[in-house]
Amino acid sequence: NEFLTRSNLMKAYLPTSKTPIRTGKKVAVVGGGNVAMDAARSALRLGAETVYIVYRRGMAELPARKEEVEHAEEEGIIFKTLTNPVKINGNENGYVASMTCVEMELGEPDASGRRRPIPVEGSEFVLDLDCVIAAIGTSPNPLIRHTTPGLETNRKGCIVADDEHGITSKDGVFAGGDAVTGAATVILAMGAGRTAARAIDEYIRSIS
C-alpha cells in the first residue's frame, strides 16, 4: 500500500522527491491479489527489468481478478506460483540481495475451501533480487472491533453484516465494503454503501 500510494499520489518516482522510490532491477512481489498485480506492474513501469509474483498456491487459486492476471502476463510479469518465501537475505550494506524460497504442493482444502499449500521437502532455492514488496492482504483497523462492544467480527477481523441490508449485530450500526468483505473492488464497496444508505434511511424512519 505504501509503495502504490507513494508512486501514485506522492510522485515519489520523480528525481526531485525527498523520499524517492528505488525499485531496483529484480523485484519480487509476494502475494496474489489485485494489489500484488498493481504493485508488480507499477514496479515494471518504474524501471525494474525483471518482476516476479511469488504466490504459494497455483495459478488457478490466484485471488486477483482474471483480467488483472492477464494484463500482468501481457506486460511480462513472471509468475512463480507454488512458491513460498521463507527468508529475505541482505548484503553487507543491509540491502536486499536475495530471497530464499521453498516449492509448494497443494494438499486437501482448508477452512476457506482452497487446497492447502504444503512445503516440498528439500526444494529450497534462492531467488536473486534487490527489492521485495509485500502484498499479502489487508484487514480492517482492529481499533473498531476492540472498542465497539456488541459488534460481531469474523476470524479475519471483518465486520459481520448481512448482504441484503448491511445490518450488523449492533443495533443501529450498518457496514459494507472492505471492512465487511475484506479487500475487494471499489465498485463493490460503492454498491454496499448504497445498500446500507437505504437500510439506514428505513431504520431511522422506523424509530422516528
pLDDT digits (tens, 9 = 90+) for 166-189: 999 999 999 999 999 987 788 999
- The grid cell for 124 is 529450497
Residue 162: count other Cβ atoms within 10 Å of its Cβ: 13
Residue 199: count other Cβ atoms within 10 Å of its Cβ: 18
DSSP sequence for 152-163: -B-TTSPBPB-T
Q: What is the pLDDT of residue 59?
A: 94
pLDDT digits (tens, 9 = 90+) for 110-142: 777 778 899 999 999 999 999 999 998 777 878
pLDDT digits (tens, 9 = 90+) for 1-13: 889 988 888 888 8
pLDDT bracket for residue 156 (50, 70, 90): confident
